[in-house]
Amino acid sequence: MLKTLIKKEITSAIFDLRFVIAALLCVVLIPLGMYVSRKDYEHRLSAYQVKYQEYRQRHGKGVEPNTEAQAFRPPSVMSIFASGVDPFMPDNVTTARSGLFRTTKESIIDNPSSLLFGKVDFIFSVVFIVSIAALIFTFNSFSGERETGTLRLVIANSVPRSRILLAKVVGNYIALSIPFIISILVALLILDASPDVSIISSSVWPSLLVIMGVTFLFMLCIVNLGLCISAFARNSMDSIVLAFFVWALLAICIPKVSPMVADVLYPVKGANVFDTNKRLIADDIDHELVEEREALRTKCFEEFGAPESDMHTSRPWTELGRKATAKYEQEFAPVSDRYQNRLAEALRRLEQDYRRRTNVRSSIAMNLSRISPVSSYTYIVSELSGTGVTEPDNFGRNAQRYQDQVKQAVYDKIIVKRERYGEAYEYPNEFDPRDALIPEMTYMYPTLAQALQTGLPDIILLGLFTVLFYSLAFMKLNRYDVR
């Protein structure tokens, strides 16, 4: 009986105009989007390679006192599926001897039109096109039958209502999956035709598989949502309006509004305010250091009774002045070190505080937006693509690691001697600055296991949403009264 019901659902869905339109949209948009994302990835990859090679050729070997090693972020292969935060990510890290690395971003705008309208990557197609298609497929499956009166007939038979619902879910889901699977296959063919990407490489297929699995779960969730809306509405006119409303709420409002709400609930000062604070603290500590230095100098000079005229020249004229300066320099070294440590500690604390606050805000925003299955879906897929919300932090970690690596290999080898006129540099004996290689950055995107660990709550939520919508629809259908 269930089989017959499902078959009936599938045939009724397939012979409809909706199916033709959905198939047309899927088959046009998903492969074309894939083609464009692939091209875009190839561009980004070639740009990365050009920059990288040129840098290695020019600065890959040889250390100078003012060397600042640079490294570049390779684009993630999976960013073809979800560009996510990739267009906003920095792609260049410049290390520094002081330990404060800088990150920069190329600012060439190649194609303003495509930036204005955004990209049609896989995730966009699924979130906007496939989800609307799923709602359009299902919005009148109960309300329409109720209007035409066929629901009475079906219910009058000895079929359990749960079967009817299940048949509708499965039938519509299969009918929706057909154009989707076809277009995915075409898209994957297009992807595999690229010289730079191969689907079977170990960095692609496991993530791809998980993304596909999650996408199918998401589609099931939206189909259930459509049925649920249909069960709640009285006629198909109401259900289309309701479906539109719910769609706008889930796909647009909740994801876009939740970061703003989080910002209102838990305001965090912007990064530039944080930078200013950092600078202010550094200035304050510097100021104290200068005061203490001057006091120390005066003390040393008074102790030796050296003339004051020697105090502010770098080359004292009298013997006493020279002695006083020597003593001052000797005593100043620990003071200077202490201030350095204090500065580092203060900056670290400030940074930690800022990071903690942004993390709290970010988790509020994330959890708020998880009311909508669309945001859960977006989080997982972008995470698996290496372009998710955790990627900026990951970039920071990679940059820090690279900084440490360069520090060990290069900066620690340069011995700076402070002399009266500037600085002098020495190298250890076994270290040949001309032959020394600048280390390369191995940029690590989160592995599949890590991404899954981060995305696990979202996957569970998607499952929960599916069950929730299904049971809501079932509940409403069970209470449906034929009279």
Q: Which is closer to other proteins, CB of 77 or CB of 254? A: 254
Q: Which is closer to other proteins, CB of 103 or CB of 400? A: 103
Site string for other proteins, 319-348 (x = CB under 8 A): ------------------------------
Q: Does 11 bind other proteins (CB under 8 A)?
A: no
Beta 92-94 vs 70-72: how paired, if at all? antiparallel
Give the integer Cα–Cα distance in Å for 23 and 175.
Answer: 10
Query: Which parts of 108-137 interact with other proteins (CB under 8 A)?
Result: 108-120, 124, 128-129, 132-133, 136
Shortest distance in whole angstroms from residue 407 CB to other proteins: 22
Q: Which is closer to other proteins, CB of 87 or CB of 433? A: 87
Helices (H), 233-372: 236-247, 254-265, 271-304, 319-369
Pick the stretch among 6-14, 17-25, 338-346, 463-471 that binds other proteins (CB under 8 A): 17-25
Strand partners for 446: none
Give the integer Cα–Cα distance in Å for 354 and 348.
Answer: 10
3-state secondary structure at position 72 = strand
Rounded to 5 degrees, φ, ψ at 417 are -110, 120
Strand partners for 70: 94
Query: Which parts of 41-60 interact with other proteins (CB under 8 A)?
Result: 43, 46-47, 50-51, 54
Shortest distance in whole angstroms from residue 320 CB to other proteins: 32
From candidates 153, 209, 253, 333, binder to other proteins by CB under 8 A? 253
Tokens in use for 360? Answer: 């709290």
Tokens in use for 235? Answer: 């006629």
Q: Does 240 bind other proteins (CB under 8 A)?
A: yes
Among candidates 42, 27, 25, which has minimal Cα distance to 186?
27
Give the integer Cα–Cα distance in Å for 342 and 330.
Answer: 20
Shortest distance in whole angstroms from residue 241 CB to other proteins: 5
Q: Which is closer to other proteins, CB of 50 or CB of 193? A: 50
From candidates 85, 281, 282, 350, binder to other proteins by CB under 8 A? 85
From candidates 1, 7, 39, 412, binder to other proteins by CB under 8 A? 39
Pick the stretch among 31-39, 421-429, 435-443, 467-475 that binds other proteins (CB under 8 A): 31-39
Give the integer Cα–Cα distance in Å for 377 and 374.
Answer: 5
From candidates 237, 265, 290, 295, binder to other proteins by CB under 8 A? 237
Query: Which parts of 371-430 interact with other proteins (CB under 8 A)?
Result: 375, 378-379, 382, 388-392
Query: Which parts of 65-84 interact with other proteins (CB under 8 A)?
Result: 84
Q: Does 103 bind other proteins (CB under 8 A)?
A: yes
Torsion region of 403: left, alpha or beta (phi above 0 gives left; psi -120 to 50 gives alpha)? alpha
Q: Does 17 bind other proteins (CB under 8 A)?
A: yes
Q: Which is closer to other proteins, CB of 106 or CB of 308? A: 106
Strand partners for 416: 425
Axis-axis angle for helices 17-59, 161-192 (nearest 10): 40
CB distance 384 to 211 below 8 Å: yes
Query: Which parts of 149-208 interact with other proteins (CB under 8 A)?
Result: none
Torsion region of 264: left, alpha or beta (phi above 0 gives left; psi -120 to 50 gives alpha)? alpha
Q: Does 241 bind other proteins (CB under 8 A)?
A: yes
Q: Which is closer to other proteins, CB of 110 or CB of 435? A: 110
Pick the stretch among 153-161, 365-373, 415-423, 458-466 that binds other proteins (CB under 8 A): 365-373
CB distance 476 to 231 below 8 Å: yes
Q: Which is closer to other proteins, CB of 147 or CB of 329? A: 147
Reported as half-sphere exposure (CB side, CA atoms, 13 A), residue 409 has a value of: 21
Query: Which parts of 260-289 interact with other proteins (CB under 8 A)?
Result: 260, 262-263, 270-273, 276, 279
Give the integer Cα–Cα distance in Å for 193 and 78.
Answer: 15
Q: Does 36 bind other proteins (CB under 8 A)?
A: yes
